[in-house]
């Protein structure tokens, strides 16, 4: 038996153990826009019955959903987001923001969101509450926190479902493929923290070399990273503008992971913002009134691409 591999302690890793699966992201998206019952999830996601059942069980076990009886004869259940599940709202909004900016323009659904606090249709904006400025990856630095350390690279077994998003009638296709592929997101985490060469990313993620090679090629084909030649026949991988704009997704996943899976010592990373290095306080705010947005403060209209008819709902 080979010795265990160890990687950097990371709240993003722990978050991706729960949501780093395309099928799970499709289920969560369906829940945000009103699905509660098994047949509703099946219709919205297009997932096979056995796969959908398995992922719902995982989400209940992770305390993201609670299973609630709504009919006794016959017994029938619906799946409702817990507080922990509702706290995935900001990562979901950042995924939606990225898809709107960089995904295919011919999406099957369109979402129009209205902020009840100010009454305006808005765009979700990643913002530092300390200074009020929009967050860009170029303005954020990090240092090791009290919870930094090493942990065993325990990859749970799961089949590749990257392209499940293409078959679903959902709001997010390309971003669900990236975030739902845990290995791709971990590669991006490495590059965002300054690890750009193949050997550096390999040590940081402890994934098999064939998987790493395939994901690097796929992310390059998606236009998220690019290979940059260095002197001495070496190369490294750098983020494109499309890749840099993915940062708020990882940032909100980090925040969620810090809240629910942080070690007793504290967070493994401390984030600093701007030249003065103040503590980063990330939030998703309304583009109109600059106030943080919460699910109960937002109404939205889901517009089907085929008939352009809207369905008004509350988050």
Question: For residue 155, which of 258, 2, 16 has the smallest C-alpha distance?
Answer: 16
Q: Note whether residue 299 is domain-resident.
A: no
Q: What percent of the chain has pLDDT over 90?
A: 63
Q: Are 37 and 76 in contact (CB under 8 A)?
A: yes
Q: Which residue has the tokens 């954020």?
A: 140
The pLDDT of 286-311, averaged and rounded, is 80
**Does some domain include residue 125?**
no
Structural domain harbouring 196: 6-105+146-265
* pLDDT at 155 (0 to 100): 59
Q: Is the pLDDT of residue 10 over 90?
A: no
Q: What is the CATH number of the domain that holds 183?
A: 1.10.10.10
Tell me how many domains the chain contains: 1
Asked, for residue 193, whether it belongs to a domain, the answer is yes
Q: Region 169-190: what's the mean pLDDT?
A: 88
Residue 266 has what DSSP assignment?
A: B
The predicted pLDDT at position 96 comes to: 94
Annotate 111-151 with three-state secondary structure. EEEEECCCCEECCEEEEECCCCCECCHHHEEEEECCCCCEE
Query: Which residues does 230 contact at the CB level (< 8 Å), separation at least 6?
Result: 236
Predicted confidence at residue 71, as pLDDT, reads 83
In a domain? residue 136: no
Higher pLDDT, 186 or 9: 186
Per the CB < 8 A criterion, the answer to whether 19 and 28 are in contact is yes
128 occurs within a structural domain: no
Whether residue 302 is contained in a domain is answered as no
Average pLDDT, the chain: 88
In a domain, 313, yes or no: no
Residues in contact with 252: Cβ distance below 8 Å, sequence separation at least 6, in sequence order: 90, 91, 93, 94, 126, 282, 284
Looking at residue 92, its pLDDT comes to 96
pLDDT-derived band at 312 (thresholds 50, 70, 90) equals very low
In the three-class reduction of DSSP (H, G, I as helix; E, B as strand; rest coil), residue 104 is classed as coil
The predicted pLDDT at position 307 comes to 47
pTM flag (> 0.75) = yes
CA-to-CA distance for 216 and 258, rounded, in angstroms?
Answer: 27
Say if residue 249's pLDDT is above 90: yes
Whether 94 maps to a domain, the answer reads yes
Q: What is the pLDDT of residues 180-221, one digit of tens each?
A: 998 999 999 999 999 999 999 998 888 889 999 999 999 999
């Amino acid at each position: 038996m080979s010795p265990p591999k160890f990687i950097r302690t990371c709240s993003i890793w722990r978050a991706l153990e729960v949501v780093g699966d395309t099928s799970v992201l499709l289920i969560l998206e369906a829940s945000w826009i009103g699905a509660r019952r098994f047949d509703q999830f099946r219709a919205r996601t297009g997932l096979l019955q056995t796969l959908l059942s398995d992922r719902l069980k995982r989400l209940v076990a992770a305390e993201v959903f609670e299973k609630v009886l709504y009919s006794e004869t016959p017994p029938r259940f619906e799946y409702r987001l817990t507080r922990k599940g509702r706290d995935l709202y900001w990562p979901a909004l950042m995924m939606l923001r990225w898809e709107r900016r960089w995904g295919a323009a011919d999406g099957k659904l369109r979402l129009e969101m209205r902020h009840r606090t100010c009454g305006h249709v808005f765009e979700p904006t990643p913002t530092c509450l300390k200074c009020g400025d929009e967050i860009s990856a170029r303005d954020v630095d990090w240092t090791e926190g009290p919870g930094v350390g090493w942990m065993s690279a325990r990859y749970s077994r799961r089949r590749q479902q990257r392209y499940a998003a293409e078959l679903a009638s959902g709001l997010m296709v390309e971003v669900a493929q990236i975030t739902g592929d845990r290995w791709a997101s971990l590669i991006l985490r490495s590059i965002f923290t300054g690890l750009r060469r193949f050997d550096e990313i390999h040590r940081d993620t402890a994934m098999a070399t064939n998987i790493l090679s395939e994901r690097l090629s796929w992310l390059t084909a998606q236009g998220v990273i690019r290979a940059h030649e260095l002197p001495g026949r070496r190369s490294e991988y750098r983020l494109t503008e499309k890749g840099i704009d993915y940062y708020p997704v990882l940032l909100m996943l980090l925040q969620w992971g810090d809240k629910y899976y942080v070690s007793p010592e504290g967070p493994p990373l401390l984030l600093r913002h701007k030249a003065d290095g103040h503590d980063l306080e990330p939030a998703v705010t309304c583009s109109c009134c600059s106030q943080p947005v919460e699910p109960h403060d937002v109404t939205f209209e889901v517009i089907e691409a085929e008939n352009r008819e809207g369905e008004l709902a509350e988050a």
